[in-house]
Amino acid sequence: MHQMRYTFPHFTPSPEYVQPDYEKWAAVRIGMSRDDVVSQLGPPLDDEFLGGKSRPTDPYYSYGYLQMPMLPHPRTYDFLIGFDDDGTVFTKIDPFNGRFSTDGSPTSPEIIIPTDRAAFSHYPRILDCRWFPSSGLYPMTYIFELGAGQPFGPEQFHGEEIESDLPIPFFMTTFGGAQPGRFRVKAKNKLGESDWSDYRYFSFTV
């Protein structure tokens, strides 16, 4: 029996990026047969995290993954196609929430959390920011901007761009005082930089 390996936060895997052709991936539709999927994308990967060598009756076919550094589990972001009992596609999962680059340059990140206008009261004031990975040529890094506003008066923010070359799509930081804040993020690879994401606003209360 194949045993999936779970790891702890101190484990840092070697980065590895395997991606399908975006245009061919986008052409796969719900209801397609296994044969049609293989005709479109080729045979699935022999993926050790899905049990090793692929079989024609597997419930999921693997077509790629983003194995990023600094994650507690090395395989968080996958390209998977799931098949129903009748052998037709019932789900298609990708790391990018369906947003694909057309030329290899990074797509603008889409923020997941915090939700917009979220209000927090916990202490210590740790802010957990996460977004969908950007699609495009890998490796990919991220630049993070965090802004603090005035607790009273007009909504004005003083932003600080963190040129971090962050290799993962999340960032945790402290946030001082009871005040509003906002953040945004953009992606970068060797072909250039994406546009900034939309701002995500939040606040910490007393």
Do 117 and 55 reside in the same domain of the chain? Answer: no
Residue 43, domain member (yes or no): yes
Is residue 100 a part of any domain in this protein?
no
pLDDT by residue (tens digit) across 134-148? Answer: 999 999 999 988 888
**Secondary structure in 3-state letters for 62-75:** EEEEEECCCCCCCC
Instruction: Name which of 21-25, 58-62, 81-85, 180-184 the model is least confident about.
Output: 180-184
Q: pLDDT tens digit string along 45-91? A: 998 877 778 999 999 999 999 988 766 665 779 999 999 999 999 99
pLDDT of 161 higher than 50:
yes
pLDDT at 1 over 70: no
Per-residue pLDDT, averaged over 96-111, amounts to: 97
* Whole-number pLDDT of residue 4: 36
The pLDDT assigned to 46 comes to: 93
In this structure, the answer to whether residues 75 and 126 fall within a common structural domain is no
E runs forming strands in 68-123: 77-83, 89-93, 110-113, 118-120
Q: Are residues 167 and 82 in the same domain?
A: no
Question: Helix, strand, coil proportions of the chain in percent (round to 5)?
Answer: 10, 40, 50
User: Of 93, 126, 154, which residue sits at a domain end?
Assistant: 93
Same domain, 194 and 114: yes
Predicted confidence at residue 169, as pLDDT, reads 93
The reported pTM is 0.84
Between CA 94 and CA 81 the distance in angstroms is 9
Residues of the chain with pLDDT > 70: what percent? 84
Burial tier of 196 (Cβ tally within 10 Å: 0-12, 13-18, 19+): middle
Mean predicted lDDT score pLDDT of the chain: 86
Element (H, E) at 188: strand 180-189
What's the CATH code of the domain at 133?
A: 2.60.40.10
Q: What confidence score (pLDDT) does residue 118 get?
A: 86
